[in-house]
Amino acid sequence: MASCTIHTAPYSCSISRPAAKAFSLGFHQRHQQLIFFSSGRRSAVVCSAEKTVVIGLAADSGCGKSTFMRRLTSVFGGAAEPPRGGNPDSNTLISDTTTVICLDDYHSLDRTGRKEKGVTALDPRANDFDLMYEQVKAIKDGVAVEKPIYNHVTGLLDPPELIKPPKILVIEGLHPMYDSRVRDLLDFSIYLDISNEVKFAWKIQRDMAERGHSLESIKASIEARKPDFDAYIDPQKQYADAVIEVLPTQLIPDDDEGKVLRVRLIMKEGVKRFAPIYLFDEGSTISWIPCGRKLTCSYPGIKFFYGPETYFSNEVSVVEMDGKFDRLDELIYVESHLSNLSTKFYGEVTQQMLKHSDFPGSNNGTGLFQTIVGLKIRDLYEQIVAERAAASAAAAKV
Amino acid sequence: MATAAAVGVSLSAPIRTVPVAKAELLGRKPVRIGQMLPLQRMAAAAGRGRVVVVKGTQSSTPPDISEKVEESIKKAEEACAGDAVSGECAAAWDEVEELSAAASHAREALKANSDPLENYCKDNPEADECRTYDN
């Protein structure tokens, strides 16, 4: 392999960030860039064999430890763990192929600072988008960075940790698509849209066991964050390539437990390297109840919908599932009727769901669509790798 | 009777302890949520001529985080008593949300670390006890 030569301007080391510690420049990956000379003139043609693929995930519920992350990293193989030997309160997760970064680490104001200014963490004023852009760009180009750590327990900004460029970088948090520069770096973006009723039900389940919390305090907490959420986080939906929308079920009247859910996978059309999944016939509108003669389901059953729609003036395809899975054969039956799943073998979606049957959402559309999106991302990654290999092979022949 | 019941000694009248969610303890109107319905039934059944001792539901959150959550809720309620739509009020409740999320993660981490076999296998996946057969 040719030796590495740095051809882009290196990142200036004069970034002074929170702990007043100068960041190290980092190092390039081996075999990362090849430079070709043509017709005696220096024309730098970069053929990166291993440029990092960047995925953005917008979600309200914390960082890196969410179920979606665990499913996603599991599709790529291996369990993602916090970095060993580092800060125990680090939000980063690292597996063999994937690194998950929590965007809370780019808070410019710590908890005290935010309280003084009277801003929530949702407010862009509490986040350093310049640093976010610089570091994500650096990692994408193969340069390791010293990323700050936001400690959720103490509410302080801890000394930075070293992040080496992985094959796949996932940035998870409240604002992955807020800044347009960061948005352009993303190879794929996902928005997890939980409706207010479901959010309320989930937060009750999460917080009722806590001393000090009551129904009123949970409600007040959601209400107080809502204005900032609607103003800054919600609009990112329109930029996402895939939106997973979680709504209360329509199968059970007046359900407030949030155990049976209606989940919609909204996929943007025309996204490079992403072929939306479909039911039976691409482009048509299908309403499907799989339960019947061949498949028996228990109450309340399962209902599917597929069709083209318009979402924030984008052309999208929507696959919707309402209900829950009770048995393995329901899951495999549904999988066998969905198309364009990008599975490597028949039953892969079912296998992945079973692997994590203890995760929340494993028996409804949230788990199903999260797993499918994970497979789609794997497919996107493999396409990028294949393209790059083809490009460098073609360039080598020249 | 109540003290003996707290210790768990059985006396002539069978005593049943009923874990009750906090809302009922404070006498607030219990809301119809899945986890509460069976408890209401239990409490009703227990009330028929038996001594009932209620104890708060045990949370497995580490106490320091639990305290932080409690404190932050109190502070938030104070901050919002004045002006319910101010930035301070929103920031205070945002802090409550952040700490509640941290508490729930801590609870999960405790659960995840509680199995000694799992912990051993994380560090030694090649050991005989840890071999899994996926295919």
pLDDT in tens, A280-339: 999 999 999 999 998 888 888 999 999 999 999 999 999 999 999 888 888 999 999 999
| CB interface of A with B, residues 39-68, below 8 Å | 61-62, 65
**How confident is the model at residue B113, as a pLDDT?**
75
When pLDDT is cut at 50, 70 and 90, the band that residue A62 belongs to is low
Is A354 an 8 Å CB contact of chain B?
A: no
Measuring CA to CA, which residue among A186, A263, A191 is closest to residue A234?
A191
Closest CB from A120, A206, A211 relative to B91: A120
| CB interface of B with A, residues 95-114, below 8 Å | 95-98, 100-106, 108
Is A209 an 8 Å CB contact of chain B?
A: yes
**How confident is the model at residue A61, as a pLDDT?**
64
Interhelix angle for B87-112 vs A215-228, to 10°?
Answer: 120
Closest CB from A119, A205, A217 relative to B87: A119
- Higher local confidence (pLDDT), A37 or A97: A97
Give the closest-approach CA distance of A35 to chain B in angstroms. Answer: 41
**How confident is the model at residue A142, as a pLDDT?**
93
Please tell me the pTM assigned to this model.
0.77
**How confident is the model at residue A370, as a pLDDT?**
94
Q: Cα(A22)–Cα(A9) distance, rounded to whole angstroms?
A: 18
**How confident is the model at residue A63, as a pLDDT?**
63
Q: Which helix (H) or strand (E) holds B16?
A: strand B15-20
Closest CB from B59, B68, B91 relative to A118: B91
Query: Do A11 and A138 contact (CB within 8 A), yes or no?
Result: yes
Position A31 pLDDT exceeds 60: no
**How confident is the model at residue A37, as a pLDDT?**
41
**How confident is the model at residue B28, as a pLDDT?**
46
When pLDDT is cut at 50, 70 and 90, the band that residue A144 belongs to is very high
Task: State whether the Cα torsion A147-A148-A151-A152 is positive or negative.
Answer: negative
Give A121's contacts in chain B (Cβ within 8 Å): 94, 98
Mean pLDDT of A264-293: 94
Position A25 pLDDT exceeds 80: no
Give the closest-approach CA distance of B1 to chain A in angstroms. Answer: 27
Q: Which helix (H) or strand (E) holds B53?
A: strand B51-56
Give A259's contacts in chain B (Cβ within 8 Å): 34
**How confident is the model at residue B7, as a pLDDT?**
41
DSSP summary character for residue A86: S
**How confident is the model at residue B22, as a pLDDT?**
46
Query: Do A55 and A183 contact (CB within 8 A), yes or no?
Result: no
Residue for token digits 């049943």? B16
Position A43 pLDDT exceeds 60: no
Residues 6 or more apart whose Cβ sits within 8 Å of residue A171: A54, A55, A56, A57, A100, A101, A103, A136, A182, A186
Give the closest-approach CA distance of B48 to chain A in angstroms. Answer: 27
Position A8 pLDDT exceeds 90: no
Distances in Å between the alpha carbon of B69 and those of A66, A286, A308, B73? Answer: 20, 47, 45, 6
Instruction: Name the stretches of chain B with pLDDT < 70.
Output: 1-59, 84, 134-135
- Coil, strand or helix: which one is B5? helix
Is A82 an 8 Å CB contact of chain B?
A: no
* Order of strands, sheet of A314-323, starting from the edge strand that comes earlier in the sequence: A93-94, A98-102, A168-173, A53-58, A188-194, A242-248, A261-268, A314-323, A302-311, A286-288
Query: Do A35 and A44 contact (CB within 8 A), yes or no?
Result: yes
Position A240 pLDDT exceeds 90: yes
CA A332 to chain centre: 25
Q: Cα(B13)–Cα(A373) distance, rounded to whole angstroms?
A: 58
| CB interface of B with A, residues 33-72, below 8 Å | 33-35, 56-57, 59, 61, 65-66, 68-71
When pLDDT is cut at 50, 70 and 90, the band that residue A59 belongs to is confident
Cis ω before A300 (30° cut-off from 0):
yes
Task: Provide the ipTM.
Answer: 0.78
When pLDDT is cut at 50, 70 and 90, the band that residue A1 belongs to is very low
Within chain A, strands assigned E span 16-17, 21-22, 53-58, 93-94, 98-102, 145-150, 157-163, 168-173, 188-194, 242-248, 261-268, 278-279, 286-288, 302-311, 314-323, 338-339
Q: Cα(B52)–Cα(B57) distance, rounded to whole angstroms?
A: 15
Is B88 an 8 Å CB contact of chain A?
A: yes
Position A108 pLDDT exceeds 80: yes
CA angle (B61 as vertex; A368, A371 as ends), nearest 5: 10
Other Cβ atoms within 10 Å of A203 Cβ, number: 22
DSSP states along B64-110: HHHHHHHHHHHHHHHHHHH-TTSHHHHHHHHHHHHHHHHHHHHHHHH
Give chain A's mean pLDDT: 84
**How confident is the model at residue B48, as a pLDDT?**
52
Query: Do A367 and A321 contact (CB within 8 A), yes or no?
Result: no
- Higher local confidence (pLDDT), A39 or A304: A304
Query: Do A307 and A318 contact (CB within 8 A), yes or no?
Result: yes
**How confident is the model at residue B52, as a pLDDT?**
43
When pLDDT is cut at 50, 70 and 90, the band that residue A257 belongs to is confident
pLDDT digits (tens, 9 = 90+) for A356-381: 888 888 889 999 999 999 999 999 99
Residue A201 has φ and ψ, to the nearest 5°, of -60, -40
Q: Which helix (H) or strand (E) holds B116?
A: helix B116-123
Give the closest-approach CA distance of B64 to chain A in angstroms. Answer: 10
The share of chain A scoring above pLDDT 70, in percent, equals: 86
**How confident is the model at residue B103, as a pLDDT?**
87
Is A252 an 8 Å CB contact of chain B?
A: no
Position A275 pLDDT exceeds 90: yes
Long-range CB contacts (within 8 A, 24+) of B35-41: B35/A205, B35/A208
